[in-house]
Amino acid sequence: MAEDSVVAVYNTKSITADTKKKNNTFSIKVQLAQMLRGGAIVEVGNSQQAKIAEEAGACAVVVSSEYTQSGISRMPDPLLIKEIKRVVSVPVMAKARVGHFVEAQILEVIGVEYIDESEVLACSDEENYINKHKFRVPFVSGCRGLGEALSRVREGAALIRIQGELSRMGNIVETVRNVRSVMGDIRVLNYMDDDELFAFAKRISAPYDLVAQTKQMGRLPVVLFAAGGIATPADVALMMQLGCDGVFLGSEVFEGSDPCKRVRAIVRAVMHYNDAHVLAETSCGLVDSMERLNLNEDRGQQSGSEGVD
């Protein structure tokens, strides 16, 4: 994105000391999130994967969450987080359930650099998200549209993740749809008259002041990443060329015969997303490690052709 600076979101002339303190704290969180811009955040399940991600050039790692026998997903084991923090020097991120502020309190005490309030996990509160202004650590929040993104920013999110498919099968279509939706609304917003902003803010259920700031900046007031179905260097380059500031990579990137090569290639594609020659080079030799991602789709096509014959 063209704009390098991020304007403080809460910017009013007459504010109290407490409000000013909160604004300054949020500005610091936004600056910390800016440090991840132009990079790839890789999901890891153990210290070995974390080392691979760091060596490949990941700007941060996010620790995989735990799944119980009942299928409920919760925050990662604190022991795993501490172990990963000991072996890597890049920032460590961990997931908390939506609305579960106690999980966020635990993660902050452990010392993670970022907390992801993730809708990928089981939901703990269907109505209320975490009040992120109560925490010192920057938060990441997901969205599928501009209104949702700006609502999460109002709650204190310093980094927005446009979420796509959750099945980990390498299907990027939903991510592309949501990224284009957010970018399309921002482009429409840029051509609106100031008097039209009230109706637009109401239509997308977003705070008016943040809608106005987005129009002024020509982009979201915080860093914007994409997640879901991103499995190849070409996928990464697509997200970056559509206007994202970076990408999240799922733990499935470690599957295959040479996970080091694959993660390194995908991370390199983030830095060279506009260079087709580099993208072609990094895409070579990755087919065998991506077979599982299309397994269900291939089987469906095979069964369909058998029926036709």
Q: Of how many residues is the chain composed? A: 309
**For position 13, what pLDDT does the model report?**
41
| CATH 3.20.20.70 assigned to 22-174+222-283 | yes
Q: What is the pLDDT of residue 171?
A: 83
* pLDDT for residue 12: 39
127-163 pLDDT per residue, tens: 899 999 999 999 999 999 999 999 999 999 999 999 9
Q: Which residues of the chain fall short of a pLDDT of 70? A: 1-24, 66-71, 167-170, 287-309
Give the pLDDT of residue 18: 53
**Count H helices, E strands: the chain?**
12, 10
User: Which residue numbers are catalytic?
Assistant: 95
Q: How far from 242 is each of 55, 140, 261, CA to CA, in Å?
A: 27, 20, 25
Predicted local distance difference test score (pLDDT) of residue 169: 67
Query: What is d(CA 284, CA 102) in angstroms, rounded to the nearest whole number?
Result: 45
Distance, CA of 225 to CA of 122 (rounded, Å): 22
The whole-angstrom separation of Cα 218 and Cα 248 is 23
What's the CA gap between 106 and 51, in Å, rounded?
Answer: 24
Spatial contact of 178 and 166, defined as CB atoms under 8 Å apart: no
Q: Where are the alpha helices (DSSP H) in the chain?
A: 17-34, 47-56, 78-87, 101-110, 146-154, 173-190, 197-203, 208-217, 233-241, 259-271, 276-283, 295-308
